[in-house]
Structure 1
Amino acid sequence: MAAAVTRLWRTPPSLLHCRSLHVTLGAQKAKTGTEQIWLTRQQRDPYVKAAHAQNYRCRSAFKLLEIDKEQKILQPGNRVVDCGAAPGAWSQVLVDKVNSLGQDPAVSVGFVLGVDLLHISPLEGAIFLSKCDLTDPATHRKIIALLPCGEADVILSDMAPNASGIRELDHQRLVNMCLSLLDLSDVVLRPGGSFLCKIWDGGESNLIRDKLRQRFQHVKTVKPKASRTESAEIYLLAKSHKNKKSSN
C-alpha cells in the first residue's frame, strides 16, 4: 500500500511557510481570504520571526530543538537520518547537535543524512539525497551505502503527504509512510537507537504505536509547543531499539 502513495508525500505543509521566511511578508498580496489569514498568522507567529532571526530555513527547527531539549535524543557523534528533510531546518539543528562539522574537537563527530522527494539546498555538515522516495528499496540501499558502517543511531521524520482535504485519507497516507520508515529502521537502526516520527492523530495511530512497541523498549507521544495548537500533528518517540531478531 505504501507504494501507492509514493508520489504523494512531501515535507509538511509548513514548508510553504518556510519558503516565506526570507520574503518580506508585508510585500505579499493575498488573493483570497484563506491566503490573507495565512499571511496574518505568519506575521504574528513568534517561531517564524525567530527562525528568520536565527537563520533557520523553517520554523519547524524549533520543534526538534524543543523535543531534544526535553527528551535528549541527540548526542555528539550520532549518525542521523533526517526523513522528509526539505527545506533542511531539522538538518541545520542536527549538524550542530551531533557535531557533524567537528566544530567541537572535544567530542565525537557525527553524521547527518537528509532525504526528500523535493530538492534540498546544500548545507555544510550534511549529505542530502534529493528527489529520493523513502518508500523505495533503492533509496534504502543508498542510505545504507552512505551511513558510516551502514548504521544509524537516530531516525527522524517530519514528512507528511500532500493534504487532500479528506482527513481520514490523509491520516492513512501518513500512517503508511510511518510504516515504511519502520521497515527502514529494521535495516539501519542500531540496537539501542531512537526513532521519532510525525503522525496526524487518528484511528490508525495505535497501529503505529503497537509496531513501535514491538521494536523499542520505550514509546511515548510528544507535542512540542512549536507545533501549532490547532494542528492534529503529534510525534511518536521510540527509544532503545531492540535487536533485529527480537523485533520480528
Structure 2
Amino acid sequence: MKKLKALKVCSYLKMIIREHSSKEWLNRQKSDPYVEKAKMNNYRCRSAFKLLQMDDKHSILKPGQCVVDIGAAPGSWTQIVVPRTNSDFTNKNLPTGLVIGIDLQQMFPINGAILLGNSDFTSTKTWDKIKTILNNRLIDVVLSDMAPNATGVKHLDHDLIIKMAFSVVKFSVMNSNVGGTCLIKIWDGNQNMELENILLKFYSTVKYIKPTASRSDSAEKYLLARGFKGLIKN
C-alpha cells in the first residue's frame, strides 16, 4: 500500500515538472526573436540561425562540398546547407554539392538534399546507407547537432551526448576527405577535454564556438575541428 502511494506521488510530481517545463518552454518561445525570424525566413526552426552564424563567421560551407548533417530533424540546418553548397543546382556556374541529412525522426523532403529519416545514426545499417549514397565519395563537412533527450541529470546527459559525439568522430575519421571539417554539438561536462584531444589527433585545429543564437542559459556549445589529416598510419 505504501509503495502504491509512493508511486502515485512520484507520478504526480513528474506531471507537475512536465507541465512547468512546458509552460517555461512556451514562454521562452514567445519571447525569442529567432523563433519569429525563422518563420519569416521559412526555416523549420530557430536552430537554422546557429548554423548561419557559425558559417558566416568561420566559413565552413562552400559550393560543391559533400556534407552530412547528423541529427538533422526537422531540417533547418539542411535548409542552410543546400544553397550554400549549391546542392540544389541553383547556380550552374558553381560546383554542385551533395547533402545528406540523417535523423531518428521522419523529415519532410528538402529540394537538393537526400534525407534519411527514421534512421539511427549510431547503427551500422545507417552507415551502410550513407556509404551507398556517397558511392566512394569522401565527405568534406560533417555537421552534428545531434543530442539525446535530456533527463535533467547533468552528468548523465553529458555522458549521453559525449557517447554520440564519439560516434560522430569515428564516422568522420573513416569517411572524410583530407582537409575536411567536423562540427559537433556538446554540452558542458568533464569529458569535453578528452573529446577535444582525440579530435586533435586527426584535425589540425580544434576550438570551441558558441553562436549568438544559442540561448545564454544553454549548456550547449560546438567543437569545430578543421583540417582533417587523414587516417593515422602506424
Q: Take 1:51 and 1:133, find their aligned partners in 2: how far apart are those partners?
A: 27
1:231 aligns with 2:225: no
| Residue in structure 2 matching 1:45, options 27, 32, 35 | 32
Unaligned runs of 5+ in 1: 1-30
TM-score (norm 2): 0.90
For 1:116, the equivalent position in structure 2 comes to 103
Q: Take 2:121 and 2:198, find their aligned partners in 1: how far apart are those partners?
A: 18
Matched-pair identity in % = 44
Q: Take 1:34 and 1:171, find their aligned partners in 2: how far apart are those partners?
A: 20
For 2:229, the equivalent position in structure 1 comes to 242
Q: Take 1:148 and 1:193, find their aligned partners in 2: how far apart are those partners?
A: 18
Q: Take 2:82 and 2:38, find their aligned partners in 1: how far apart are those partners?
A: 16
For 2:166, the equivalent position in structure 1 comes to 179
| Residue in structure 2 matching 1:197, options 184, 202, 225 | 184
For 1:55, the equivalent position in structure 2 comes to 42
Q: Is the 8 A contact 1:79 1:148 kept in 2?
A: no
Q: Secondary structure at the match of 1:202?
A: coil
Higher relative contact order (CA 8 A, sep 6+): 1
The one-letter amino acid of 2:142's match is: I
Q: Take 1:33 and 1:172, find their aligned partners in 2: how far apart are those partners?
A: 25
Q: Is the 8 A contact 2:67 2:143 kept in 1?
A: yes
Q: Is the 8 A contact 1:80 1:154 kept in 2?
A: yes
For 1:218, the equivalent position in structure 2 comes to 205
Q: Take 1:115 and 1:236, find their aligned partners in 2: how far apart are those partners?
A: 19
Q: CA deviation at 1:220?
A: 0.5
The one-letter amino acid of 2:79's match is: Q
1:130 aligns with 2:143: no
| Residue in structure 2 matching 1:103, options 65, 85, 90 | 90
Q: CA deviation at 1:148?
A: 5.0
